[in-house]
Amino acid sequence: MRMPPGVLAALCCPLCQGALTGRGESLACPAGHAFDVAREGYVSLLTGRAPASGGDSADMVRARQEFLEAGHFAPLADRLAALVADVPEPGLVADVGAGTGYYLARVLDAVPGALGLALDVSRYALRRAAKCHDRAGAAGCDAWRGLPLRAGSAGVLVNVFAPRNGPEFRRVLRPDGLLVVVTPTEGHLGELRAALGLVEVDPRKEERLERSLGPDFDLVGDERLDAPLRLSHADVRTVVGMGPSARHVTAGELDRRVAALAEPAQVTAAFRVTVHRPRPRA
């Protein structure tokens, strides 16, 4: 199992919240609930029926890793790392919806004393996230059903383009902890959306963010980050393949539309980065 001891100590059984310890090729709690460790080093702490979507597919994860490792979203990774580096003694940094672990690894590189935990529902993503950094572990979970972490065990939560469970985020964060959320703005990849028929950014995304976090968190930082991109046609196909539009455009139709673009395509990555503190308990 690729799980630093400090990360394992923060995990809890998703069924009874008991502590988890290694037992052969699995993790188990005192009540006898056991969870298998995959050969790639992550542990699945999913319970009940698997989510209908199953998270990102193998092809989506492959595209995501290729695009991110090419450095296209490096400005965002650098900004996340800088925000976490300003947190005194962050301890455990948990990335909820971590995907391949790209952002988590960049954060851990910037904060030598921190540990990391990649949480995701996709087994394909977890296979890569388990190996993203030597100070990180990876676990499968559905954020809507709860996070397999002890109360107050995380110093920082990172959430990039992923579901947000406000009450659970509040439960697992330390009282002095920090939540950093990244969402796309309406301009994100705007040059491609119309030309390729991609899924639009929800215009009510900011309203939904406030609704999901407002009862449990105070907003303490809000900034926009735009990054100009010069994408080859291959890059364009990759960025489409790593997102939800991959499920809505056939490969042949996508190739036809991409071929009509200028090369390189001038595209804007546009992010909103918000920083939140847990609201004190009444």
pLDDT digits (tens, 9 = 90+) for 130-139: 999 999 999 9
The alpha carbon torsion through 38, 44, 49, 54 (nearest 10 deg) reads: -80
| Residue 280 tokens, joined | 């004190």
* Rounded percentage of the chain residues whose pLDDT exceeds 90: 78
> pLDDT-based confidence at 193, cuts 50/70/90?
confident
Dihedral pair phi/psi, residue 240, rounded to 5° = -70, -40
Q: Check whether 258 has a pLDDT greater than 90.
A: yes
Average per-residue pLDDT in the chain? Answer: 92
Q: Check whether 98 has a pLDDT greater than 80.
A: yes
Q: Check whether 173 has a pLDDT greater than 70.
A: yes
For the stretch 187-191, contacts whose Cβ atoms lie closer than 8 Å and that sit 24 or more positions apart, written own/partner, are: 187/226, 187/268, 187/270, 188/268, 188/269, 188/270, 188/271, 189/239, 189/267, 189/268, 189/269, 189/270, 190/268, 190/270, 191/265, 191/266, 191/267, 191/268
Instruction: Determine which of 17-21, 87-91, 172-176, 241-245 has the lowest per-residue pLDDT on average.
Output: 241-245
